[in-house]
Amino acid sequence: MNSSAATPPIRSPKAAAWVIVAGVTAAMHVGKVPVAIPILQQQLGMTLVEAGMLLSMSQFAGMLMAVFVGMLADGMGLRRSVLSGLVLMAVSSALGGLSTSVPVLLMCRTLEGMAFLLVVVPAPALLRQLVRPERLAQTMGIWGAFMPAGTATSMIVGPWVLGAFEWSVWWWVLSCVSLLCAWGVWRQVPFVPVTSGQASGVSQSARLMQTWRNPGTWWVALAFGMYSSQWLVVIGFFPTLLHEAGLGAASAGAITAGASLANIIGNVGAGQLLHRGVAPHKVMTIAFVTMFLGAVVVFAGGLAVPVAWRIVAAMLFSAVGGLLPGSLFSLAVRLAPSEQTVSTSLGWTTQMSMTGQFLMPPIAAWLADTQGTWSYTWLLNAASCSLGLVLVLRMHRLLKAR
């Protein structure tokens, strides 16, 4: 066994805060695209389908290998993984700002997806080592909000940068933000050895096979995909919908940022409800039903539905839908086949989540493009919510059988 196996955890709230900031920084790169889509369509001749691909391309790496990043981060080192992701994110965003064609921009977006993965997959395990056990649940609740916090920040700041400069400057600004965050992580976050896999004597391949053979992990992962894919469709294309309704870029970005921030309410609320003993299947059922109803109002009526109604529907869609990540992260731990497979199970959950995020936006954009309207997009949300409810029932039965 490695001698570092006996090394006690390093408790550092400041270091934990920098890890959370790293997650928010990574999420800012996800959120930088929606507010820029109208400008990219004008200046680069980007089609709506290509815009959907750009929106989801950052998830491509996660779709292919999130579970392997979860497995390999221990060997690479959690801190080193986060640092590598931030630096790669800075480089790929800078190169993206230099691109003059859609294919090059898509390639840079793929590199950003890899960087995103290197930051967010090992972060929960790193946080677990940096905070005291009695503060872990609270810290994980805060971590669960990194995505809406980051995307909302981009949607608030992005329109102002895009209004004053070329779109490429927005890419370069976030490149600099990533480098600053990497500097903070390098200075403030100590090296943390992760030795659970070594201590247990379970090989990486064995943990992977245990994870893949466990039905509960599949139900959790697929349910996360049903949530995250449609959330990205609504939040990702909402600035475009508002722009088509006559709102300016700054207003559309600020409103969408508000909808993204509303997701934090659900993330925090899920932890509180579960802590008070509310059954997970009840929390998740409410979330999926509300997301379906919200999507119908956002998409089905088109411009015939007043903008104010669509804004309220998007807010509820995101806020109540936010109950799902907290619930599913909790279930991913509970339904993992063993203590040694928790990180691998979370990696697989991330992979299924990103698969949904990669596939759904281009499909939604293609449907809107071929039909000439967004009015049928809600059918994709209906399918996702229906499958999500089936998976909720399966997870409930599995928990009852234990």
pLDDT of residue 384: 92
Q: Which domains does the chain have, with CATH numbers?
A: 3-401 (1.20.1250.20)
Low-confidence ranges of the chain (pLDDT < 50): 1-8, 195-199
* Chain-centre distance for alpha carbon 22: 13
pLDDT of residue 193: 62
pLDDT of residue 399: 82
pLDDT of residue 199: 45
Assess contact for 264 and 145: CB atoms under 8 A. yes
pLDDT of residue 142: 74
Assess contact for 22 and 119: CB atoms under 8 A. yes
d(C-alpha 21, C-alpha 208), whole Å:
29
For residue 100, what are its two tokens? 């003059």
| Helix ranges (DSSP H) in 32-166 | 37-44, 48-57, 60-76, 78-98, 102-120, 123-130, 136-143, 146-164
Angle, helix 136-143 to helix 249-275, in steps of 10 degrees: 150
pLDDT of residue 179: 94
Assign residue 245 a region (left: φ > 0; alpha: ψ between -120 and 50; beta: otherwise): alpha
pLDDT one-digit tens code per residue, 100-128: 777 788 888 888 888 888 888 778 778 77
pLDDT of residue 389: 94
pLDDT of residue 392: 92
Assess contact for 242 and 256: CB atoms under 8 A. yes
